[in-house]
Amino acid sequence: MKVAVLGATGAVGQTMLQVLAERLPEVEEVVPMGSPRSVGKTLEWRGREWRVTAPDPAAFRGCRVALFSAGSQLSREWAPVAAAAGAVVVDNSSAWRLDPDVPLVVPEVNGPRVADLRNGIIANPNCSTIQLVLPLEALRRAAGVEQVVVSTYQSVSGAGRKGTRSYESELAGGRDPDSPFPGEIVGNVIPRIGPLRDDGWTEEEEKMRAETRKILGLPALAVTATCVRVPVAVGHAVVAMTVLERPLSLGQARAAIAGMPGVVLWDEAADPLPREVAGGDDVHVGRLRSDPDHPNVCHMWIVADNLRKGAATNAVQIAALVIRG
């Protein structure tokens, strides 16, 4: 079986190739594609070297799945082409996430939506949204959800290779002129991610609101987010306050989250930390608390590797649903 990877030399694309090798033994051949500056490079995968090519309609033929992580512009241009060639596109950009004809999928939450293909494209959600909706869905199943208020603490790798290079340059005492951050990141936190809209919210914050609603199938759910960039290499953290439809004891909340596939609930005495969870595929929940004043409110701390479960692993899990049915 053959799978294409567009954006194969980027941070997420490289992780997609790694996770493909780990999780999908059915895939025997990859077609790595990239930008003009990447064309001609070779990548090692499963003991062989594969040459990076430019995207081309013919290159997608015979591919069961095409994993995209090359930005919205290229996704809008090439996803329909790949789909027309017979590949199911799993796109990691924001290009298709809110399209009503495109499923937005976190397999543990709404995996059956993979079958709702109308144009051959499935969207992979935003990294912070993925790690939020897993425990949130567990609580929704147990007691319903009326509102969620989140603050995110997102690592520099969420800004791609430019973010990682800028962080490393600052650690070495320099300053990268191509930094994607509006200020220095080392020893600092930046309380905005992405462009600021006219209403004061950022695009990243609106993504979390709209995508959470779509994934959970709750179009009127009240969701607000404050997204912050922090000087961490890999791993995003989310603090979530959830207002439930009915009271839920702490024990009931713990049981609900512990029973959710893809989620690891930590003991009250320990805290999941980005450095500790990096390299793994689970979403980790700690500091689960019942609100002292409101019996239908709970609070939690959620940590995950943004390159793996927040991007590449979730995409490969979607590909597995497509391939295995």
The residue from 127, 227, 284, 298 that is catalytic is 127
Contact 288, 270 (CB under 8 A): no
Q: Can 294 be counted among the known catalytic residues?
A: no
DSSP assigned state of 61: T
User: Is 127 a known active-site residue?
Assistant: yes
Phi, psi of 247 (to 5 degrees): -60, 145
b/e per residue 191-200 (b: at least 16 CB within 10 A): ebbbeeeeee
Q: Are 73 and 94 in contact (CB under 8 A)?
A: no
* Alpha-carbon span 103 to 96, nearest angstrom: 9
- Give the C-alpha separation, 315 to 282, whole Å: 14
- Residue reference for tokens 């017979």: 86
Q: Which residues contact 18 (CB under 8 A, 6 or more apart)?
A: 312
Active-site residue among 63, 227, 236, 298?
236
Instruction: State the catalytic residues.
Output: 127, 236
